[in-house]
Chain A
Amino acid sequence: MSVVTLTINDELVSAQEGQTLLSVLQERGIEVPTLCHLDGLSERGGCRLCMVEMEGSGRLQAACVTQVQEGMVVSTHSERLVKYRRMILELLFSERNHVCAVCVMNGHCELQWEAAKIGMDHVRYEYLNPDLPMDASHERFVVDHNRCILCTRCVRVCDEIEGAHVWDVMGRGVNSRTIVDLNQPWGTSQSCTSCGKCVQVCPTGALFSKGATVAEMEKQHNFLRWILDGREKKIWSYENGK
């Protein structure tokens, strides 16, 4: 595989052809916020938090869905980018009813972490306060649409890893909603295997285990790596627990 050379934040960097820009940034320890990206799942480019500036292009590009190219000149933390990232987070918070203080994921939530990291101390936009339901019909899990950011990790993990494709998205724009099968109560789904992968990859308190109370829910992504290592590299055990 051939090597390409690009410039990131005024530094010359080599990368392999076909690599995404986000993976190069992560390899080099350059932290850009992400929400819809999750190692092991296909990229969606939906949350737009990993946007970078690219010389010669007026548009901002999402690093997770941009392949590295020879001679690329990239900037990851300009004033404009930080401003936009904060704006995106504020819009996410204003779009639904997150209310961190009483959330099952308070203190363990990726949306909350990103907001804290960027210094989002308040939301400048009017809250939409949509009237959204909770679906607690599943025996073990609950979906609370009030806390969904439409990252579609649940949709992708169910389709790509579990192979059940229970989850999908309906509607457009601000009215989009994740749905089970043909938009029915989760408890009535015949395709759901109750594996819980969707719950574990959900970055917020939108999907959680039934019976969890405030700040009690913590999620584990490790299983994705184990499944994929087995499937793709035939690695079935890890030495020293690694």
Chain B
Amino acid sequence: MSRTILIDPVTRIEGHAKITIHLDEDGQVADARFHVTEFRGFEKFCEGRSFWEMPGITARICGICPVSHLMASAKAGDAILGIHIPPTAAKLRRLMNWAQIVQSHALSFFHLSGPDLLLGMDSDPAKRNLMGLVEKFPDVARNGIRLRRFGQKVIEILGGRSVHPAWVVPGGVREPLSDENRSKIRRMLPEAFDIVGLALDVLKDSFDQFRDEEAMYGNFPSLYMGLVTPDGGLEHYDGLLRVVDSDGAILEPGLPPARFREILGEAVEPWSYLKFPFYKPAAIREAQGGRSTLHYPAGMYRVGPLARLNVCDCAGTPRADAELREFRRLAPRGRPVANSFHYHYARLIEILYALERIAETIDDPSITDKRVRAHAEVNNMIGVGVSEAPRGTLFHEYHIDENGILQKVNLIIATGQNNLAMNRTVKQIAQYHIKDGKVTEGVLNRIEHGIRLYDPCLSCSTHAVGQMPMVVEVYDAGGKLIDRVKRE
């Protein structure tokens, strides 16, 4: 008799989702699915609004990574205006983007995944949360809060507020950076560097105890996509799209992001509100008679910290480059790190990189320049804006009429691009741990952790504090409930 196991809701992620695990007649895992159960609708209800408003509106997609939407949206606006923004404005935008990488990655590592990594996958679920972490490892929890605060504070100094700042606009930014504020940021940097150093030690010390997880937490070949600088360096704000395959071969060396449609397609499934983007060239199958068809799961690619470190040639800053060399030793020579468990490590390396870049940029004499906003009228009817959000590449594509009123909006969110990989990860972990239909609490948490690796951001809500109830329901092939396990 086949059965379905349901994990609902998935906890310690940003947003609302559930997981179903489908067992076959023998109680072995046949399939597993990650369902996103919330619907936002921004693409539709923004139609009819002006592109000038879009940074403000789309920032509300998310309370964790509003800055990424601000960047992508303002850049789409720049493209519509057809302008190059003042160089200082670009540097200031980069500063804010790095600050967000720091705060978002700190949240993911310390608060969302920290309880699993430090307290253990099998620890008491009542304690396996941020509060449990504060009790047992107060220093680590405090450091997490301090590091996140650093990022939030830099965003606030630049944009006037830490969440949904209206500072990034089509044409540049609204306010320049004052000397006083520059000094404030400079003073906060040493502590942030200390914390990320400690976090790297904590994670690396724990590698031995997670050998099992390392081997089967999303360990499969896939493509990787991310932005790189024209020289192939790590990039978060601008640059070119690069795609590499599981052997490390470069499939797309540097496509201008505005041409993303040439390589990316989007599929939908009736069981999830999250779209399934895929890499088109890998998904095309030659069928009989010379006609080609699409098999979209073959175009699975990963984005985010792991993918960015896999596609770049180097980081470009000394300490991050040293860590990157160590990171690359986790995979056979010349190949990308295929294991999603190492998203954690990649996240910490990116924090280090972002801090080094912030330190460097803040010392740039032109950073306090007062010319930070360009003005123009509508010059292009389509605008594409791309940025590397903490969770991966983010695309905003706007089609407007001659007055700047939006006719069509397309948003390709980082988390969506990891959708195929997340589903694959859930299935891999479930297949490894669930034998003969036997399910334990520790197994359920491991499956959830498989999702947390990608730090999916399904909406603008944080569920970092507290343990949400989880219900596991077992259904027979006819859909009849035969067992129910509840965790309060």
A interface vs B, CB < 8 Å?
Answer: 101-102, 104, 133-137, 142, 187, 210-216
Q: Do A213 and B405 touch (CB < 8 A)?
A: no
Q: Do B405 and A214 touch (CB < 8 A)?
A: no
Chain A residues whose C-beta falls within 8 Å of the C-beta of B52 in the assembled complex: 210-213
B56 part of interface (Cβ distance < 8 Å)? yes
Closest chain A residue, CB of each to CB of B168: A213
Contacts A133-B48, A136-B50, A142-B50 given; does A213 touch B56 at CB 8 Å: yes
Interface residues of B in 36-57 (CB under 8 A from A): 48-50, 52-53, 55-57
Closest chain B residue, CB of each to CB of A187: B403
B414 part of interface (Cβ distance < 8 Å)? no
CB distance from A137 to the nearest CB of B (A): 5
User: What's the Cα separation between A102 and B169 when bound, in Å?
Assistant: 13
Residue-wise interface mask of B (52-65) relative to A, using a CB-CB cutoff of 8 A (1 in contact, 0 not): 11011100100000
Chain B residues whose C-beta falls within 8 Å of the C-beta of A137 in the assembled complex: 403
Contact of B49 among A134, A213, A215 (CB under 8 A): A134
CB distance from B452 to the nearest CB of A (A): 29
Q: Do A102 and B57 touch (CB < 8 A)?
A: yes
CB distance from A83 to the nearest CB of B (A): 32
Chain B residues whose C-beta falls within 8 Å of the C-beta of A210 in the assembled complex: 52, 404
User: What's the Cα separation between A210 and B170 when bound, in Å?
Assistant: 12
CB distance from A68 to the nearest CB of B (A): 45
From B48, B52, B405, name the one whose CB has the most chain A CB atoms within 10 angstroms: B52
Q: Do A213 and B174 touch (CB < 8 A)?
A: yes
Q: Do A102 and B56 touch (CB < 8 A)?
A: yes
Q: Do B169 and A213 touch (CB < 8 A)?
A: yes
CB distance from A134 to the nearest CB of B (A): 6
Chain A residues whose C-beta falls within 8 Å of the C-beta of B55 in the assembled complex: 213-214
Chain B residues whose C-beta falls within 8 Å of the C-beta of A135 in the assembled complex: 403
Q: Do B53 and A102 touch (CB < 8 A)?
A: yes
Contacts A102-B57, A136-B404 given; does A213 touch B48 at CB 8 Å: no
Contacts A101-B60, A134-B405, A187-B403 supplied; 4 other A-B pairs, CB < 8 Å: A101-B164, A136-B404, A213-B55, A213-B56
B204 part of interface (Cβ distance < 8 Å)? no
| B interface residues, how many (CB within 8 angstroms) | 19
Chain B residues whose C-beta falls within 8 Å of the C-beta of A211 in the assembled complex: 52, 171, 375
Q: Do B48 and A134 touch (CB < 8 A)?
A: yes
User: What's the Cα separation between A226 and B173 when bound, in Å?
Assistant: 34
Q: Do A216 and B166 touch (CB < 8 A)?
A: yes
Chain A residues whose C-beta falls within 8 Å of the C-beta of B405 in the assembled complex: 134, 136
CB distance from B408 to the nearest CB of A (A): 16
14 chain-A/chain-B pairs, Cβ below 8 angstroms: A102-B56, A102-B57, A102-B60, A134-B48, A134-B405, A135-B403, A137-B403, A210-B404, A211-B171, A212-B52, A213-B55, A213-B174, A214-B56, A214-B166
User: What's the Cα separation between A123 and B52 when bound, in Å?
Assistant: 28
CB distance from A108 to the nearest CB of B (A): 13
User: What's the Cα separation between A93 and B164 when bound, in Å?
Assistant: 23
Q: Do B174 and A216 touch (CB < 8 A)?
A: yes
Interface residues of B in 313-348 (CB under 8 A from A): none
User: What's the Cα separation between A239 and B60 when bound, in Å?
Assistant: 48
User: What's the Cα separation between A137 and B166 when bound, in Å?
Assistant: 25
From A135, A210, A212, A214, name the one whose CB has the most chain B CB atoms within 10 angstroms: A214
Total A-B Cβ pairs within 8 A: 42
User: What's the Cα separation between A25 and B405 when bound, in Å?
Assistant: 44
Chain B residues whose C-beta falls within 8 Å of the C-beta of A212 in the assembled complex: 52
Chain B residues whose C-beta falls within 8 Å of the C-beta of A104 in the assembled complex: 53
Contact of B50 among A134, A215, A216 (CB under 8 A): A134
Residue-wise interface mask of B (174-192) relative to A, using a CB-CB cutoff of 8 A (1 in contact, 0 not): 1000000000000000000
Closest chain A residue, CB of each to CB of B57: A102
User: What's the Cα separation between A186 and B477 when bound, in Å?
Assistant: 62
- Which 3 A-B pairs rank lowest in CB-CB distance, beginning with the nearest? A214-B56, A136-B403, A214-B166
CB distance from B237 to the nearest CB of A (A): 20
CB distance from B63 to the nearest CB of A (A): 12
Contact of A213 among B164, B166, B403 (CB under 8 A): B166
From A104, A134, A137, A187, name the one whose CB has the most chain B CB atoms within 10 angstroms: A134
User: What's the Cα separation between A104 and B53 when bound, in Å?
Assistant: 8
Chain B residues whose C-beta falls within 8 Å of the C-beta of A216 in the assembled complex: 166, 174
CB distance from A99 to the nearest CB of B (A): 9
Closest chain B residue, CB of each to CB of A97: B45
From A102, A210, A213, name the one whose CB has the most chain B CB atoms within 10 angstroms: A213
CB distance from B169 to the nearest CB of A (A): 5
Chain A residues whose C-beta falls within 8 Å of the C-beta of B49 in the assembled complex: 134
Chain B residues whose C-beta falls within 8 Å of the C-beta of A215 in the assembled complex: 166
Closest chain B residue, CB of each to CB of A133: B48
User: What's the Cα separation between A187 and B401 when bound, in Å?
Assistant: 14
Chain B residues whose C-beta falls within 8 Å of the C-beta of A134 in the assembled complex: 48-50, 405
CB distance from A230 to the nearest CB of B (A): 32
Contacts A101-B60, A134-B48 given; does A214 touch B53 at CB 8 Å: yes
CB distance from A210 to the nearest CB of B (A): 8
Chain A residues whose C-beta falls within 8 Å of the C-beta of B171 in the assembled complex: 211
Closest chain A residue, CB of each to CB of B376: A211
User: What's the Cα separation between A54 and B170 when bound, in Å?
Assistant: 53
Chain A residues whose C-beta falls within 8 Å of the C-beta of B56 in the assembled complex: 101-102, 213-214
User: What's the Cα separation between A210 and B77 when bound, in Å?
Assistant: 14
Chain B residues whose C-beta falls within 8 Å of the C-beta of A213 in the assembled complex: 52-53, 55-56, 166, 169-170, 174
User: What's the Cα separation between A213 and B172 when bound, in Å?
Assistant: 12
Closest chain A residue, CB of each to CB of B166: A214
User: What's the Cα separation between A213 and B171 when bound, in Å?
Assistant: 11
Closest chain B residue, CB of each to CB of A212: B52
Closest chain A residue, CB of each to CB of B74: A213
User: What's the Cα separation between A133 and B50 when bound, in Å?
Assistant: 10
User: What's the Cα separation between A195 and B351 when bound, in Å?
Assistant: 51
User: What's the Cα separation between A231 and B49 when bound, in Å?
Assistant: 40
User: What's the Cα separation between A136 and B400 when bound, in Å?
Assistant: 12
User: What's the Cα separation between A133 and B49 when bound, in Å?
Assistant: 8
CB distance from B92 to the nearest CB of A (A): 16
Closest chain A residue, CB of each to CB of B56: A214
User: What's the Cα separation between A187 and B375 when bound, in Å?
Assistant: 20
Chain B residues whose C-beta falls within 8 Å of the C-beta of A101 in the assembled complex: 56, 60, 164
Chain A residues whose C-beta falls within 8 Å of the C-beta of B48 in the assembled complex: 133-134
Closest chain B residue, CB of each to CB of A138: B403
Chain A residues whose C-beta falls within 8 Å of the C-beta of B60 in the assembled complex: 101-102
CB distance from B171 to the nearest CB of A (A): 8
Interface residues of B in 116-141 (CB under 8 A from A): none
CB distance from B239 to the nearest CB of A (A): 25
Chain A residues whose C-beta falls within 8 Å of the C-beta of B375 in the assembled complex: 211
Closest chain B residue, CB of each to CB of A129: B45
